[in-house]
Homo-oligomer: A and B are copies of this chain.
Amino acid sequence: YSGYSSRTKFYTLFFIEASLRSIGDICFCSNPFSGLLILIGMLISCPKVAFLASLNLFAGILTAVLFLKIPLNEVRSGGVTFNNYLAGTVVALIADEDVLFKSPDIIVVSMVMGILTVIIWMGLNGLTASRLEFPLLNAPFHVMLVLYLLSGMASIYKPEDVFQIQGISESPLALNTSLGDEQMNNITRSFNLQETETNLIETTTTLPSALNLRDESLSPLVVEQSVDWEKVLCGIFLAPSQVFGTGNLMTSLLVYIGIFVYSPIMLMQSLTGATIGCLIGVGLSSSLEYEAVYSGSWAYNPLFTSAALGGFFLIFDVRSWLLSIVGSIVTTLTYSAMYKCNAPVLGIPFMVITWLLLPGIPAPEDAFQQDTQKF
Binding site for B on A (CB under 8 A): 67, 115-116, 119-120, 122-127, 130-134, 143, 146-153, 166, 168-172, 200, 202-208, 210-211, 284, 319, 322-323, 326, 329-330, 333-334, 336-338, 340-341, 355-362
For residue A205, which residues in chain B have a CB less than 8 angstroms away from its CB? 170-171
Judge whether B116 and A326 touch: CB under 8 Å.
yes
Residues of B within 8 A of A340 (CB): 150-152, 166
Chain B neighbourhood of A208, CB < 8 A: 172
Question: In the docked arrangement, what's the CA distance between A307 and B361, Å?
Answer: 31
A357 to B122, CA, bound (A): 7
Copy number of this protein in the oligomer?
A: 3
Given contacts A132-B132, A149-B337, A151-B340, 13 further A-B contacts (CB under 8 A): A116-B326, A122-B360, A124-B356, A125-B360, A126-B362, A127-B134, A131-B359, A147-B334, A150-B341, A153-B284, A170-B202, A203-B203, A203-B206
Interface contact A151-B358, CB-CB below 8 Å? no
- Chain B residue numbers with a CB within 8 Å of A130 are 359
Quote the shortest CB–CB distance from A2 to chain B (angstroms).
Answer: 33
Contact A206 B172, CB 8 Å, known A152-B284, A340-B152, A357-B119: yes
A145 to chain B, nearest CB (A): 11
- Contacts A207-B210, A284-B152, A284-B153; A126 near B360 (Cβ below 8 A): yes
Closest to A356 in B: B123
CA distance A357 to B140 in the complex (A): 11
Chain B residues with Cβ below 8 Å from A360 are: 119, 122-126
Q: Which chain B positions have C-beta within 8 A of A134? A: 127
How many Å lie between the Cα of A146 and that of B356 in the bound state?
15
Cross-chain pairs A/B with CB under 8 angstroms, 26 sampled: A67-B319, A119-B323, A119-B357, A120-B330, A122-B357, A123-B356, A123-B359, A123-B360, A124-B356, A126-B360, A126-B361, A127-B355, A130-B359, A146-B337, A147-B330, A150-B338, A150-B341, A151-B284, A151-B336, A151-B340, A152-B337, A153-B333, A169-B206, A170-B205, A171-B211, A207-B207
Q: Is the CB of A151 within 8 A of B333?
A: yes
- A146 CA / B338 CA spacing, docked (Å): 11
Q: CA–CA, A127 to B361, complex, Å? A: 11
| A157: min CB distance to chain B, Å | 13
State the CA gap A115–B166 with chains docked (Å).
Answer: 37
Interchain CB contact (< 8 A) of A206 among B116, B119, B204, B357: B204
Determine the chain B residues whose CB is within 8 A of the CB of A170 once the complex forms. 202, 205-206
Contact A151 B337 (CB under 8 A): yes
Shortest Cβ distance from residue A335 to the other chain B in the assembled complex, whole angstroms: 8
Closest to A211 in B: B171
How far, in angstroms, from A336 to B358 measured CA to CA in the complex?
Answer: 34
CB pair A143–B356 under 8 Å, yes or no, is: yes
Q: B333 and A148: CB pair below 8 A?
A: yes
A28 to chain B, nearest CB (A): 19
